[in-house]
A and B are shown apart, each in its own frame.
Chain A
Amino acid sequence: EVQLVESGGGLVQPGGSLRLSCAASGFTFNNFAMSWVRQAPGRGLEWVSTISGSGRTAYYAASVKGRFTISRDSSKDTVSLQMNSLRDDDTAVFYCTKAKRLWVGDLLDYGMDVWGQGTTVTVSS
């Protein structure tokens, strides 16, 4: 069964840091880009970051660039999101996702076909 399981969410003060992890199983991890998508309370879905299948290329939303870092570990089939300088407006449920299309080195895709259950990040003093 293809599965993504997130962990690492919690309560953190503004300016603090948190590291989210996502354990993947049931598919060839290195063949697919992985992403993080979030939903703030009462808001819609927001794409946060994507890392290529090789791990060599990463992309970020403007709202998190310079503060968040995505990475992947092919030895453990995990993708992580290091979040620094957290702000109140980073409060959200964060979802780990798998790209549907095999990674071939371009930016095109066919959506995100597997989602984790989500992990909640609350930034508050």
Chain B
Amino acid sequence: DIQMAQSPSSLSASVGDRVTITCRASRGISDYLSWYQHKPGKAPSLLIYSASTLQAGVPSRFSGSGSGTDFTLTISSLQPDDFGSYYCQQDYTMPRTFGQGTKVEIK
């Protein structure tokens, strides 16, 4: 199975800060990597797919990069609505695997 190691596990940042979350796959997955946002009591939502393609309707302050084993999710200017947990997930093979998540708190 491909393991997805995500860091940090949590962070606290101020509105306007640049936030970066990293995800490392245990072996190469090309660019078959998705990012999700999950807020308490709501369904998760797809933010980015194919490592760097923004899902329709997602604000442009979100961006993704990487290929192979190392990936990054960046929020260029953190907004109050960006609280929640963020997960990476590989779309390369079965079983699908998620990172352990990053909880983002707004200071």
A interface, CB within 8 angstroms of B: 35, 37, 39, 44-47, 50, 59-62, 95, 100, 107-113, 115-118
Contact = CB atoms under 8 A, between A and B. Distances in A.
Contacts of A37: 44
B44 A110 contact: no
Contacts, number: 68
24 contacts: A44-B85, A44-B100, A45-B98, A45-B101, A46-B98, A47-B89, A59-B94, A59-B95, A62-B95, A100-B46, A100-B49, A107-B93, A108-B32, A108-B92, A109-B32, A110-B49, A111-B34, A111-B36, A111-B46, A111-B48, A111-B49, A111-B89, A111-B91, A116-B43
Nearest to A116: B43
A113 B91 CA distance: 12
Interface of B: 1, 32, 34, 36, 38, 43-46, 48-50, 53, 55, 85, 87, 89, 91-101
Main secondary structure of the interface of A (DSSP, over half): strand
